[in-house]
Amino acid sequence: MVQAGHFAATKIQERVCDLQDQWAALERLAAARKRKLEEALALHQFQTDADDVDAWTLDALRIALVRKHKDAAAEVSSYRSVIDSLQEQAAALPEEEAQSEEVRGRLAGIEERYKEVSELTKLRKQALQDALALYKMFNEAHACQLEDLEVIQHRFESLEPEMNNQASRVAVVNQIARQLKHNGHPSETDIKTQQDQLNNRWSQFRDLNYHLECNETKSWIKEKTKVIESTQELGNDLTGVMALQRKLTGMERDLAAIEDKLGDLRGEAERLATEHPDQAKAITGRLGGDHSGLGGDEEHPEDPRGVSGRGQEAAAVPARAGRLPTLIASEDMPNTLAEAEKLMAQHEGIKNEVQNYEEDYQKMRDMGELVTQGQTDAQHMFLRQRLEALHTGWNELHKMWENRQNLLTQSHAYQLFLRDTKQAEAFLNNQEYVLAHTEMSSTLEGAEAAIKKQEDFMTTMDANEEKINGVVEAGRRLASDGNINAERIQERVASIDERHKKNREAAVELLMRLKDNRDLQRFLQDCQELTLWINEKMLSAQDLTYDEARNLHSKWLKHQAFMAELQSNKEWLDQIQKDGRLLVSEKPETEAVVTEKLSDLHAMWAELESTTQTKAQCLFDANKAELFTQSCTDLDEWMGSMEGQIQCWRSRWRVNNYLSVPQMLEKQVEVRQREVGQLQSQVKALGQEEQDTEEVDGRRQLLEDKFTELLDPLQRRRDFLVESREVHQFTRDVEDEILWVQERMAVATSSDHGNNLQTVQLLIKKNQTLQKEIQGHQPRIDDILERSVSLLKDESSEATRGRLAALQELWAQLKEEAQRRLDRLQEAHRAQQYYFDAAEAEAWMSEQELYMMSEEKAKVRSHDTLCSPDVAPPFPLSEEKAKDELSAVTMQKKHQIVEQAVEDYAEAVHLLSKTSRGLVAEAHPERSLCYHYYFYYYYITISVQGPL
């Protein structure tokens, strides 16, 4: 208005400036108010965080001596970041508040209390470490004292390993004690006393152990001496000799063990004599007495061994093999897989030992039968009975070995089953843990990740299922085979199988629940997105401010677009409601959550629609007359624009420009049609205000008639655009097909037919591939021809018709050229196959030629009778003769073999000749290179040299 020179331009300009100044002042005040509020918020947030830190430090001071030190120390260390963030928060405050005594005092107090907590934590850690080391030393010392008594009770069976173990533990105790004294432990006196007491008791124990071992060894030697002396009472008969042999065999093993024990005692005596020089004589004296007793015992049993040499030799086998039944009849059962393998190896060694005695046993039986044959005296009858008993015992020994072998085999299989069972149970335990600790996520991303994790877990279950089933099948097979542990095996198998099935069912059920949770979370996320969208649109709908009438129509149009957007998004709400009902029908447990969300959405949508209608009514009531006028003007201008476009719609540029906008044109018509329909409601509203309704209604009727007249040309224009688009698409498809055919035409018309058999075969495969492509492309060509019938109807498509005819011609030519190339390649293949076979025949005949030139041949026929004067051989015949009749016969047989091979090859040569004549008769392009005369000559030449 100022620019237009309005009569009140000065007042208008002043009013505008005043409004701008007031608006700027309002913005400044709002910014200052916002800044003060933010500063106050920051200060109060700092005060709140500082209170939290104070409360935490006070609690930490109270519980630092109660809670576990490790957890308390970790919490103290992790809380450092909270205090640092509080420092940063204080630094971000305004300078006045940041430098205030209150803030600085709070920070200093917090920092001081945190340092106090940290120091207390360090002191407590040191005290706990000292106490731990002290009690550890006490425990070790007491354990050593208690185990000293246990060592004495075990005597020689477990004394030496226990002694070594205790020695290492005593050394550890001394090392800990030295470290504690070096670090200045407050209980240094107690540590020194405990260490001295332990070392003294250890020294006494070692001394007592030496004396005990000497006494035990002396008693052992005396016992064996009595056993040896008792052998003197045995007679010189076979029974006495056999008993003597058994005793002496056991005695030899005992003497070797006693000798080893004496060697250990010598080393111990030397060490004790060095440590206790004042008692060295007594220590060595005890050892000397034991050794002297052993020497006499070793020399004593020599005499009985010489009694009845033949009886001793006869008794050698039962004496040596007598311990085998005891070893075989052992009732030791393995408790682990390693023990089972060890027992099986030992049992296999027993079998080898039995086999080693087999030869001696047979010799002894033969000797016994020979000695007792025909003898009836009592001694020989007794020997015969012993031989029969030996035979029975030998058979029983084999049966015992087989029974023991069967038992050990079953035990080994059972231990293998237990090993596999433990592995399967580990898999099952892991599966049960995962299934029990999988939780439902509260977000869609988490739910999908949980499903992915569960699917991976089930894949792992599938991978382990074969191992678990293998264990189950192995257990059932052992039970069905009658394993000695069949009941235990069946129990383990039933447990594993039941747990596996239970885990499988639980995994499937968990996966279903995870998928149900994902569907629920997807529904909730859709509801959340729609809720956010409704809230956003509610803000726009609740904005009821509007300016002068000159902006009223634009606001009205924007609001109409806003209402159209709401209407189009109503499908979103309907889809969510449909999904919710489907979710409830499939998963009734989600009914409460789904119903609540749908109720909230419907309420929010109803409120949004109500607010939108209210705003539309307010906009319309603001200035009904001017709004009606502006609406009519805008519709009139749009229809004028459309009429102008319809006048030039046949322009080629215009058609190309609007090929992609038929749908946009439909939307514009729909929007304008709604605006025309709304004019009726605006006319009624103006009639209620007693305005000139006849003029208004007449203008409305005029616009409606004009719009109705415009619809038919617009529809024709849309149809024309659609048809033009289809024609252009058809033209482009024809050009694409022409390019495709031209690319394949170069391959179909190629004159490259290959120069060897492999190349020709490769070209034939490529041609077959081309023909398959042509067959696969035929439906595309047929589709284009069908579309051309409905699209190419008028004279304006002559150019397209010409391109279509060119495509049909090229397509027919492509198929024809592809077939011609296939025929040419097949002819080339025949020729190359002939060349290949001819080259092989030539190589074979050259090989035979070299063979006959290198072999000497007995001359049984003259050269004049072999060759015709008109046919000269290509190589000189050998004139060498055989040296004798035998060599001549041998050479003749060899030559007959070669001649038979040549005759057998005649069919191949004749076939080549026939193929060559056929190629010449068919006027093959390669007929000038025919070799059939050459091969025929070669064949005659080779045949002529053989004997007739």
pLDDT in tens, 281-303: 777 766 665 555 444 444 444 33
The reported pLDDT for the residue numbered 622 is: 57
Q: At what angle do helices 69-78 and 9-63 cross, to 10 degrees?
A: 160
For the chain, helix, strand, coil in percent to 5 are 85, 0, 15
Task: Please tell me what DSSP assigns to residue 737.
Answer: H
**Per-range mean pLDDT, top range of 158-172, 221-235, 347-361, 621-635:** 347-361
The reported pLDDT for the residue numbered 867 is: 37
The reported pLDDT for the residue numbered 238 is: 47
| pLDDT tens digits for range 783-812 | 888 887 777 665 556 777 788 888 889 899
Residue 788's contacts (CB-CB under 8 Å, 6 or more residues apart) are 730, 801, 804
On the question of pLDDT at 82 being above 60, the answer is yes
**What is the pLDDT averaged over residues 490-516?**
90
Asked if 271 contacts 198 with a C-beta cutoff of 8 angstroms, the reply is no
The reported pLDDT for the residue numbered 865 is: 34
Nearest to 366 by CA among 317, 433, 416, 305: 317
Residue 616's contacts (CB-CB under 8 Å, 6 or more residues apart) are 559, 560, 563
Residue 271's contacts (CB-CB under 8 Å, 6 or more residues apart) are none
Asked if 414 contacts 485 with a C-beta cutoff of 8 angstroms, the reply is yes
In which band, very low, low, confident or very high, does the pLDDT at 652 lie, cut at 50, 70 and 90?
very low
The reported pLDDT for the residue numbered 715 is: 73
The reported pLDDT for the residue numbered 36 is: 82
H runs (alpha helix) in 648-692: 652-657, 662-688
Nearest to 210 by CA among 318, 285, 317, 102: 285
On the question of pLDDT at 516 being above 60, the answer is yes
In which band, very low, low, confident or very high, does the pLDDT at 140 lie, cut at 50, 70 and 90?
low
What is the rounded distance in angstroms from the CA atom of residue 558 to the CA atom of residue 627? 13
Using CB atoms within 10 Å of the CB of residue 888, give its burial: 0 to 12 exposed, 13 to 18 middle, 19+ buried: middle
The reported pLDDT for the residue numbered 198 is: 79
Q: What is the 3-state secondary structure (H, E, C) of 26-73?
A: HHHHHHHHHHHHHHHHHHHHHHHHHHHHHHHHHHHHHHCCCCCHHHHH
Map tokens 């499903």 to a residue: 451
Greater confidence (317 vs 89) lies with 89
Long-range contacts of 387-390 (CB under 8 A, 24+ apart): 390/318, 390/361, 390/364, 390/365
**Per-range mean pLDDT, top range of 317-326, 340-349, 373-382, 502-511:** 502-511
**Residue 759, both tokens:** 């190349």
Percent pLDDT > 70 in the chain is 67
| pLDDT tens digits for range 731-769 | 888 888 889 988 888 888 888 888 888 888 888 888 888
The reported pLDDT for the residue numbered 347 is: 76
**Residue 626, both tokens:** 């001017």
Greater confidence (212 vs 751) lies with 751
Map tokens 């398959």 to a residue: 772
The reported pLDDT for the residue numbered 871 is: 37
The reported pLDDT for the residue numbered 552 is: 63
Mean pLDDT of the chain: 73
What is the rounded distance in angstroms from the CA atom of residue 279 to the CA atom of residue 665? 124
The reported pLDDT for the residue numbered 248 is: 65
On the question of pLDDT at 386 being above 80, the answer is no
Q: Where are the beta strands (DSSP E) in 66-190?
A: none
**What is the pLDDT averaged over residues 887-910?**
77
Read out DSSP for 767-796?
HHHHHHHHHHHHHHHHHHHHHHHHH--SGG
The reported pLDDT for the residue numbered 381 is: 78
Rg (CA), the chain: 57
**What is the pLDDT averaged over residues 874-878?**
42
| pLDDT tens digits for range 111-134 | 888 888 888 888 877 777 776 667
| pLDDT tens digits for range 815-846 | 888 888 888 888 888 888 878 888 888 788 78
Greater confidence (319 vs 533) lies with 533
The reported pLDDT for the residue numbered 643 is: 64
Tell me phi and psi for residue 484, to 5 degrees.
Answer: -65, -20
Domains and CATH numbers, the chain: 9-135 (1.20.58.60), 334-501 (1.20.58.60), 757-944 (1.20.58.60)
The reported pLDDT for the residue numbered 683 is: 65
What is the rounded distance in angstroms from the CA atom of residue 674 to the CA atom of residue 688? 22
What is the rounded distance in angstroms from the CA atom of residue 25 to the CA atom of residue 31? 10
In which band, very low, low, confident or very high, does the pLDDT at 654 lie, cut at 50, 70 and 90?
very low
The reported pLDDT for the residue numbered 585 is: 87
Chain center to CA of 180: 52
Greater confidence (167 vs 288) lies with 167
Read out DSSP for 187-251?
THHHHHHHHHHHHHHHHHHHHHHHHHHHHHHHHHHHHHHHHHHHGGGS-SSHHHHHHHHHHHHHH
The reported pLDDT for the residue numbered 411 is: 85
Greater confidence (206 vs 360) lies with 360
Per-residue buried b or exposed e for 207-231, using 16+ beta carbons within 10 Å of the residue's own CB: eebbeebbeebbebbeebeeebeeb
Residue 696's contacts (CB-CB under 8 Å, 6 or more residues apart) are 628, 683, 686, 687
Nearest to 482 by CA among 400, 404, 401, 406: 406
**Per-range mean pLDDT, top range of 165-169, 283-287, 612-616:** 612-616
What is the rounded distance in angstroms from the CA atom of residue 446 to the CA atom of residue 135? 49
For the CA atoms of 308, 310, 311, 315, the dihedral, rounded to the nearest 10 degrees, stands at 130
Tell me phi and psi for residue 322, to 5 degrees.
Answer: -65, -25
Q: Is the dihedral angle over the CA atoms 33, 35, 36, 38 positive or is it negative? A: positive
The reported pLDDT for the residue numbered 729 is: 81
Tell me phi and psi for residue 835, to 5 degrees.
Answer: -60, -40
How many residues make up the chain in this entry?
A: 948
**Per-range mean pLDDT, top range of 107-111, 497-501, 623-627:** 497-501
The reported pLDDT for the residue numbered 887 is: 79
**Per-range mean pLDDT, top range of 109-123, 376-390, 549-563:** 109-123
The reported pLDDT for the residue numbered 659 is: 47
The reported pLDDT for the residue numbered 218 is: 73
The reported pLDDT for the residue numbered 6 is: 66
The reported pLDDT for the residue numbered 363 is: 82
Percent pLDDT > 90 in the chain is 2
Read out DSSP for 515-566?
HHHHHHHHHHHHHHHHHHHHHHHHHHHT------GGGHHHHHHHHHHHHHHH
Nearest to 493 by CA among 466, 470, 513, 511: 470
On the question of pLDDT at 145 being above 80, the answer is no
Asked if 764 contacts 830 with a C-beta cutoff of 8 angstroms, the reply is no
